[in-house]
Amino acid sequence: MKRISVAIKTVQALVIGFLWLPSVNARSLTAIPSGRVPALTPCRDAVSKSGPVSYRPPRDWQRGREADTELYLPPDLPKGELCFLTVPPDKALKGTFRAWFEAETAACLKAARVLDKTEIAEQKTADGRPGLYIAVEIKTREKQRLYGFLSAVQHGQRGFLFGYFATSPKLIERYLPTLNAFCRSVTFEN
């Protein structure tokens, strides 16, 4: 049996405790081609829409965009710390939901060195949709250690993936109420 670090166990426990949808496609900073945080602007949108997916962005967080992925950062991060939520557009499933999730998470994490991770876990959303998630500890190309998770939910023949990462499990916990509100706000058109 693989040994999972205490930090990853902490992240997993935090995630399991509040997520209504597990599984993420984290196009984290490691997957952003430039490797830099894009220009940020205050986020004041009541609702954002990506195809058939609608959600409420974290209020007063800073928003950036890299290619087709929305990136959100809290405005009150301690100096030298990093915490962010990535929201790429939903995508058509190729094969099963689990196979799609495995491919998407592998693609998201390929630019980073995976130091530790949990097994993929399943969980249903509040409305009964299938969800998957995985907690990870990674080191970016810039040698930054990040803790977080990738989570996804299936809607029809499409998958919606998001990622949440921070430089410490404490920061993950600090912003969980905001992330929980984001998760509860996600809706899908039929």
CATH number (domain holding residue 27): 3.40.1000.10
User: Is 134 a domain residue?
Assistant: yes
- Confirm whether 57 is domain-assigned: yes
Q: What mean pLDDT comes out for the span 108-127?
A: 86
Asked, for residue 105, whether it belongs to a domain, the answer is: yes
**39 domain residue, yes or no:** yes
Residue 90, classed as helix, strand or coil, is coil
**Structural domain of 44:** 6-188
Question: For 23, phi and psi rounded to 5 degrees?
Answer: 90, 135
How does residue 80 score in pLDDT terms, banded at 50, 70 and 90? Answer: confident
Report yes or no: 143 and 171 within 8 Å, Cβ to Cβ: no
Task: Answer whether residue 1 is part of any domain.
Answer: no
Residues 6+ apart with CB under 8 A from 140: 28, 29, 30, 35, 111, 112, 146
Assess whether pLDDT exceeds 60 at residue 37: no
| 56 belongs to a structural domain | yes
pLDDT, residue 19, reads 37
Q: What is the pLDDT of residue 42?
A: 64
In a domain, 109, yes or no: yes
Output the pTM of the full model. 0.76
Question: CA–CA separation, 20 vs 183, rounded Å?
Answer: 7
What is the helix (H) or strand (E) element at residue 184, kind and residue range?
helix 176-185
Provide the 10 A C-beta neighbour count for residue 111: 17
What confidence score (pLDDT) does residue 39 get?
Answer: 57
Residue 123 banded pLDDT, cuts 50, 70, 90: confident
Structural domains counted in the chain? 1
30 vs 42: which has the higher pLDDT: 42
Closest C-alpha to 56, from 14, 85, 81: 85
For residue 98, tell me if it sits in a domain. Answer: yes
